Amino acid sequence: MPELPEVETVRRGLALYVTGKRIKRLEILHPRATRSGSTISLKSVEGARITDVARRGKFLWFVLDRELALVGHLGMSGQMLIVPKNSELERHTRIRIDFGDKKLELRFIDQRTFGWMSAEPLRKQDEKYLPECCAHIAPDIFSEEFDKARVIGEIKRRKIEIKKALLNQEIMSGVGNIYADEALWYAKVHPERLSSSLSESELAEILRAVKKVMKSALKQGGTSFDDLYINVNGESGYFEVSLRAYGREDEPCRRCGALIRRINFANRSSHFCPVCQRARKSRKPAKKRG
């Protein structure tokens, strides 16, 4: 699933092309292309001018000159491509958007149909207006609203595995399976370590690792393991070659040489180094003195 670096790469590409353009026509080609539960027709954004392209975590949206936003979520395999109008439709094209451009249009393509687009009312939150469907999503580590102390406190008070805490989009958004594994490798923390057992300094180090690894991924256009994630020009990201843990089962750790292990974790896989990221042993209860 595309995570923050991939979604931000797409957002930047879209912003260069669509900012200032008007949505002349929006065509829905598949019934599952719209968000389940959305009550506003996607066609209601026709005629609106796009003033910006924004993002929170894994959500991105077109900021419009009206009290609505056109929101997109890439799901597992969603792509937003700027392509020639006269080119053949891709097999899994779900939505087409015509901006009145004689040569180019935007196509939302989604092979697995977990992604969607929707027209959403705006809700004011912390002096900003957010689409209603993502108002519950926490700021990400690059956001101006990101509160490091709050996030550390929120993680520490929870008695759950640290990886599960990192994946919780209501604590901190944008981190998924790939960058959680990478950040924990850099911070030398086992993914199953209880978040409540970590010190504030250890949690601060994990957050530094999260920011470091996603900043590096952004520079390389994100991570692509296949052609399901590509940017708006149809190009893959190259961060895969820099991965230290994720997807490297039975390959040597680039820090100590031990073989990377993979374990099942909450319907996902976790990759870690068994030497650099040792599981913390539970202390045996002290013997009572007679």
CATH number assigned to the domain comprising residue 10: 3.20.190.10
In a domain, 285, yes or no: no
Q: Does residue 3 carry a catalytic annotation?
A: yes
pLDDT, mean of residues 179-197:
96
Q: Does residue 268 carry a catalytic annotation?
A: yes
212 and 153 fall within a common domain = yes
145-175: pLDDT as tens digits? 999 999 999 999 999 999 999 999 999 999 9
Pairing assessment for the beta strands 25-28 and 268-272 based on DSSP bridges: unpaired
Determine which one of 3, 120, 161, 182 is catalytic: 3
Phi/psi class of residue 205: alpha, beta or left (left: φ > 0; alpha: ψ in -120 to 50)?
A: alpha
pLDDT, mean of residues 80-106:
93
- The proportion of the chain whose per-residue pLDDT surpasses 70, expressed as a percent, equals 89
pLDDT higher than 50, residue 8: yes
Banded pLDDT at 139 (limits 50, 70, 90): very high
Determine which one of 11, 55, 56, 58 is catalytic: 58
Give 267's DSSP letter. Answer: T
Residue 230's pLDDT is 53
pLDDT higher than 80, residue 92: yes
Q: How far apart are CA 53 and CA 10, in angstroms?
A: 10
**Whole domain around residue 195: which residue ranges?**
148-272
Indicate the pTM of the whole model.
0.87
In a domain, 141, yes or no: no
pLDDT, mean of residues 38-45:
92
Q: Is 118 helix (H, G, I), strand (E, B) or coil?
A: strand
Q: How far apart are CA 226 and CA 117, in angstroms?
A: 23
Q: Could you tell me the CATH number of the domain that includes residue 253? A: 1.10.8.50
Q: For residue 238, with 0-12 CB atoms within 10 Å meaning exposed, 13-18 middle and 19 or more buried, which class applies?
A: middle
Q: Does residue 2 carry a catalytic annotation?
A: yes
Amino acid at 132: E
Q: Is 225 helix (H, G, I), strand (E, B) or coil?
A: coil
Residue 23's pLDDT is 98
220, two tokens: 């390389």
In a domain, 49, yes or no: yes
In a domain, 283, yes or no: no
